[in-house]
Structure 1
Amino acid sequence: MNTFSSRSVRAKIMKPKKLILSTALSAVALFSTQVDAQTPYGPGYPPQAAPAYGAPSGYSAMGGGYAMPYGPMGPAPGYPQTVPAGYQDPSMQAMPPAQYEEYQPGMEYGDSVLETSPYEETVNGAACNSCDLPPRVYGSADLLVMWRKGSNLPPLLTTSAPVDEGVIGAPTTQTLFGGNEQGHALTGMRLTGGLWLDNYQNWSIGGSFMALEREVLGINTTSTQFPVLAFPFYDTNANANSSIVVALPGTGNNAADNTSVNIRKTNNFYVGDTFITKHVFTSHANRVDFLVGYNFARIDDAMAMRTQYTAQQTMGGSVPQGTVVSLADNFLAKNEFNGAEFGLIFDFQDGPFTWRAMGKISVGGMHQRMAISGSRTEDVFGTVDTFNGGVYARDSNIGSYSRDVFCFIPEGSLDLIYALTCNVDLKVGCTYIYVSDVALAQSALPGTINPNGGDPVFNWGSDDYWALGATFGVDFHY
């Protein structure tokens, strides 16, 4: 018997969510403070381009493409160790501040906006003649292979020896569907696109959309496979475990045959955002950008149950022998999130490879809706009667319900990027998304029924949701 109303259970659920929220907010605030403190340039200093934000991943600002000829590590091999008389290290002389020119159409390469800028250092260190200006358009297309949080369901379908009639706790009863149901890996896709608003890649606007393949769990079985089939529940009138039998050999009470049962649980997940990025820190070909924007997410979760059997004096003899009974239950949950997002994007370049880490959190409201319906049809030798209510969907809980709750969605990703050409990169990585509060179909499935009416009664449950998996994609920048 499930109960979600106790304060102790709610407290146990809320504590981990508060910990996740406070940790995510603290991490973003801490990193924002640190990168701002390390910024060596004054306001308006043009940042250096990085993969998917400017120069291709394979370009290094270290000189010669991959290594500094002279710098913090000392002189390059073969460099004279004896300093000529009167020689003065140019790096020790005062250098006038670099002057940047606005790019004008028709300028020659040598007079372009790249002169003396950090991006020019990256371009000159790369064997690419077509990258004379920082790219203005960027984007990516990713293939996702994701696992989602399993469904923690009450026992919904059981089998047993005929004498036990599928009642939970009876010696021979086995659960055919219910409990912790974990799906397999599913595919998905994510598309991202953006536009830099200035020549130095300080500001950009963009958007992304991600969708995962529909997850399907369930069972499809018959009385030929399992002679005894039943839907278990706790009888609040008798204060004992009981069951609704839909397949039982014999001709006595509850006897039924020609039974088919189909239970299908589905889940859909979509998320999209629009954002603005602002460069905050650059060191050689490494950079940090701040991200802020609007995020939308939708999670649909549904449970459909279909049962048909031929009665053999079922329901204590109230249904004539030979009656074909059809039962239908539907539990549909919809979640729509709208909120603000903010986070940081880190690029760390090493030769043709770049590590990109992204962490962000969205905070806002989740609008939740739950729709419950059910029906029972009895075909008595051609005469069809239809009644309201199925197995778990009954007069007492059938209806539509809605509410709004606070919700937060942390998201993180880590990608390894390889520069294939000046404009195209290949990448592989991982992605994790967590949703703090969702309504799922299983929270509406009752564990208790009063055969005389009045129970079950719908109550909102509190569930969270996550998806984790690998990404394989292509970045472009032009």
Structure 2
Amino acid sequence: MKFHVENEPIRDVEQARASRPNGSMTTLCLCFGFVAIALNAVQVSAQNPLRQRTPDRGSYRVNHQEHQVAESLDSTGTAPGLIERVSEPVVKLVDHQVEINSATLTQAPLDSSQPPLPMPLTDPNHVASPSDSAAPASVVSSQPTASQHTLGCGCTKCKNTQYFTPEIVIADPSYDNSCDSFGCDSGGCDSMGCNGCWRCFVQPKKFFWSAELMLYFRKGSRLPPLVSTGALDDANTTILLGNEHWFREAQAGARITLGTWLDNCKDRHVVGRFWFSGDVSNGFSLNSGQQALIARPFFNVTDGETPAQDTLIVSETGLATGDITVIGDSRVFGGDISFRQLTYNQIGTVDWLYGYQFMRLDQSLHLNNRSISLDSSFADVGAVLETTDSFGVENEFHGAQFGAVTNYRQDHWSLSTMFKIAFGAVTRRANLRGETFISNGGVNVTDPNGLLVRSTNAGQHSDTTFGVVPELSLSVGWHRFPAVDVTFGYDLVVMTDALDVSGAIDPGLASNLADPAVGSQSPAFSFRSDTYYLQSIHFGLAYIY
């Protein structure tokens, strides 16, 4: 579209001077004339529908520079160079070039070889009015040089905001290098198509978070036979407790995520997470009123005896009455902190992550049986015998993690995935304690040896080994509330070389009842590790960004 304005050229300087009272009035009138032309150009450009589209390269800021228009009059009262200046361009803009002079007003596409000039971001409700500050009488715009930094951006998140409003300003361009202080260029923002990392006029939201309810399913610990009706090599023996997994029940937990952006282009951010599962407790109890014959099986390797399957009687008809209680607990929790860098943002986004990972797994198992003698063949009649075996294990992982996070959003739905793997050290600790208590006729005796925990394996044990903790997460989000997604997903966390409570028990249930043990040093302790995993289904809310 082209505008053409015809002005009658001044042919006779003397005639023009004669038709006006003096040279000062001539200069004043011409200045007002040029101001009117400039304001008209602003109005025409603002009404031009071609300027209302969102520029492809974002928006630009322009600083006003006023140029001196008044020049000293010569002896004839004429302003030298004033007439010649009329033909110089007054305004040059990106996307479409606007040239204003005394003869023509044109608008044409900008030559692609010329670098773009900035345009400002202003309040979209603001409309220039004649009451605004008057524009300078004459403005000469300059094109940016190759060494100047043009502040602009192609970031989709910025361009699609309501604050992106092009506006024509009659002024020289200025250039803002402050974006570099945010590290956008060095962080690869330009390679992502941001073209200089536009700094939004409205500060982007710096923090984001999510809170999720987790339903955990653990691998569990497979216990050896601990309670039976007889020796394990007897075909008629029934195992009452053992050869089964404990700690596999679903248990509620939670996960909290908090993150913050490190740059206004939202290319880099740091995220911290903490998650935990509620304690899983399993129990078993039995007494002689429920089961007449109750025994604890073991492999007897006592000095001077032939090794064989044997039992510790808890209750038997006519011999003793008694009860047995077994309690186990398991808890697991962890957290991590990671730095994430945008690497792809075409169809969704992909971020690389690296940081620190922590995870801890604790388990315990406590066995206690109590018997009252009914026959002297068992013990003195009325004597009370109580045996306790206690096992506690801890696994603590510290390591460095690496991985990738993807995000894809379509309308009201989103899909997020994360896969990362951590390499580091697993510190394993075990605390074993045994005790036998005998009360007979008011005399109490305590022996620091149980059945499966004796002097040969009792005490604290620890070691450190190399471990790996991979994690996989899938999450679907539904944009149900303003700025908040309702999320649903699946998670899997694995810890290698973990020690569970069954790994702290002598696998053969061997026990040398001699004190001190001279022959077989049984039960013996060893770190029998295994791979532990934790699955979960999560439901939650996520504050989106």
Give the CA deviation at 1:335: 1.1
Equivalents in 2 of 1:424, 1:350: separation in Å?
A: 15
The 5 A counterparts of 1:2-41 are none
User: In the alignment, is the contact (CA less than 8 A) between 1:291 and 1:343 conserved in 2?
Assistant: yes
Amino acid at match of 2:460: S
Give the CA deviation at 1:399: 1.1
User: In the alignment, is the contact (CA less than 8 A) between 2:428 and 2:464 conserved in 1?
Assistant: yes
Q: Answer yes or no: is 1:321 the counterpart of 2:381.
A: yes
The 5 A counterparts of 1:79-94 are none
Other structure's SS at 1:348 match: strand
2:156 to 118, 121, 125: 118
User: In the alignment, is the contact (CA less than 8 A) between 2:451 and 2:511 conserved in 1?
Assistant: no
Equivalents in 1 of 2:457, 2:355: separation in Å?
A: 39
User: In the alignment, is the contact (CA less than 8 A) between 1:431 and 1:468 conserved in 2?
Assistant: yes
Amino acid at match of 1:457: A
Q: Answer yes or no: is 1:260 the counterpart of 2:328.
A: no
Other structure's SS at 1:231 match: strand
Aligned to 1:303: 365
2:457 to 381, 388, 397: 397
1:246 to 307, 311, 314: 314
Shift of the 277–322 alpha-carbon distance from structure 1 to 2, 3 Å rule, reads: same
Q: Answer yes or no: is 1:194 the counterpart of 2:259.
A: yes
The 5 A counterparts of 1:133-282 are 134-159=204-229, 166-182=230-246, 183-236=248-301, 237-250=305-318, 255-257=319-321, 259-282=322-345
The 5 A counterparts of 1:421-460 are 421-446=481-506, 447-452=509-514, 453=517, 454-460=521-527
Aligned to 2:23: none
Shift of the 109–249 alpha-carbon distance from structure 1 to 2, 3 Å rule, reads: farther
Give the CA deviation at 1:361: 0.7
Aligned to 1:359: 419
Aligned to 2:177: none
User: In the alignment, is the contact (CA less than 8 A) between 2:476 and 2:487 conserved in 1?
Assistant: yes
Aligned alpha-carbon RMSD (Å): 2.9
Equivalents in 1 of 2:454, 2:119: separation in Å?
A: 74
Other structure's SS at 2:502 match: helix
Equivalents in 1 of 2:420, 2:124: separation in Å?
A: 38
Shift of the 94–243 alpha-carbon distance from structure 1 to 2, 3 Å rule, reads: farther
User: In the alignment, is the contact (CA less than 8 A) between 2:320 and 2:373 conserved in 1?
Assistant: yes
User: In the alignment, is the contact (CA less than 8 A) between 2:331 and 2:361 conserved in 1?
Assistant: yes
Aligned to 1:27: none
Other structure's SS at 2:450 match: coil
Give the CA deviation at 1:325: 1.3
Give the CA deviation at 1:171: 2.5
Equivalents in 2 of 1:383, 1:102: separation in Å?
A: 94
User: In the alignment, is the contact (CA less than 8 A) between 2:397 and 2:424 conserved in 1?
Assistant: yes
Amino acid at match of 1:341: Q
Give the CA deviation at 1:122: 4.7
User: In the alignment, is the contact (CA less than 8 A) between 1:207 and 1:274 conserved in 2?
Assistant: yes
Cα deviation 1:10-30 (Å, max 9, x = unaligned): xxxxxxxxxxxxxxxxxxxxx
- Which ranges in structure 2 are unaligned for 5 or more consecutive residues? 1-56, 59-108, 127-150, 163-200
Give the CA deviation at 1:451: 2.8
Equivalents in 2 of 1:271, 1:289: separation in Å?
A: 22
Give the CA deviation at 1:114: 8.9
Other structure's SS at 1:420 match: strand
Give the CA deviation at 1:260: 1.6
User: In the alignment, is the contact (CA less than 8 A) between 1:288 and 1:346 conserved in 2?
Assistant: yes
Aligned to 2:445: 385
Other structure's SS at 2:317 match: coil
Equivalents in 1 of 2:339, 2:254: separation in Å?
A: 22
Other structure's SS at 1:120 match: helix
Other structure's SS at 1:227 match: coil
Aligned to 1:283: 346
User: In the alignment, is the contact (CA less than 8 A) between 1:352 and 1:418 conserved in 2?
Assistant: yes
Amino acid at match of 1:157: V
Shift of the 241–110 alpha-carbon distance from structure 1 to 2, 3 Å rule, reads: farther
Aligned to 1:339: 399
Equivalents in 2 of 1:465, 1:94: separation in Å?
A: 61
Give the CA deviation at 1:123: 4.2
User: In the alignment, is the contact (CA less than 8 A) between 1:119 and 1:134 conserved in 2?
Assistant: no
Shift of the 98–340 alpha-carbon distance from structure 1 to 2, 3 Å rule, reads: farther
Amino acid at match of 1:393: V
User: In the alignment, is the contact (CA less than 8 A) between 1:188 and 1:211 conserved in 2?
Assistant: yes
User: In the alignment, is the contact (CA less than 8 A) between 1:100 and 1:115 conserved in 2?
Assistant: no
Give the CA deviation at 1:343: 0.8
Aligned to 1:33: none
User: In the alignment, is the contact (CA less than 8 A) between 2:281 and 2:330 conserved in 1?
Assistant: yes
Equivalents in 1 of 2:117, 2:250: separation in Å?
A: 54
Equivalents in 2 of 1:432, 1:226: separation in Å?
A: 41
Other structure's SS at 1:216 match: strand
Equivalents in 1 of 2:159, 2:284: separation in Å?
A: 62
Give the CA deviation at 1:186: 0.8
Other structure's SS at 2:277 match: strand
User: In the alignment, is the contact (CA less than 8 A) between 1:137 and 1:477 conserved in 2?
Assistant: no
Aligned to 2:355: 293
Aligned to 2:529: 462
Give the CA deviation at 1:287: 0.4
Give the CA deviation at 1:342: 1.2
Give the CA deviation at 1:150: 2.6
Amino acid at match of 1:355: L
Equivalents in 1 of 2:447, 2:461: separation in Å?
A: 22
Cα deviation 1:347-397 (Å, max 9, x = unaligned): 122211011001011110011111111111111132211111112111211
Cα deviation 1:171-192 (Å, max 9, x = unaligned): 3211111112243211110000
Aligned to 2:50: none
Amino acid at match of 2:272: G
Shift of the 100–217 alpha-carbon distance from structure 1 to 2, 3 Å rule, reads: farther
Give the CA deviation at 1:240: 2.0
Amino acid at match of 1:197: L
Cα deviation 1:39-77 (Å, max 9, x = unaligned): xxxxxx99xxxxxxxxxxxxxxxxxxxxxxxxxxxxxxx
Equivalents in 2 of 1:299, 1:97: separation in Å?
A: 60
- Which ranges in structure 1 are unaligned for 5 or more consecutive residues? 1-44, 47-89, 125-130, 160-165
Shift of the 116–202 alpha-carbon distance from structure 1 to 2, 3 Å rule, reads: closer
User: In the alignment, is the contact (CA less than 8 A) between 2:221 and 2:501 conserved in 1?
Assistant: no
User: For the pair shown, which has the larger CA radius of gyration, 1 or 2?
Assistant: 2
Give the CA deviation at 1:116: 4.3
Shift of the 100–215 alpha-carbon distance from structure 1 to 2, 3 Å rule, reads: farther
Amino acid at match of 1:206: V
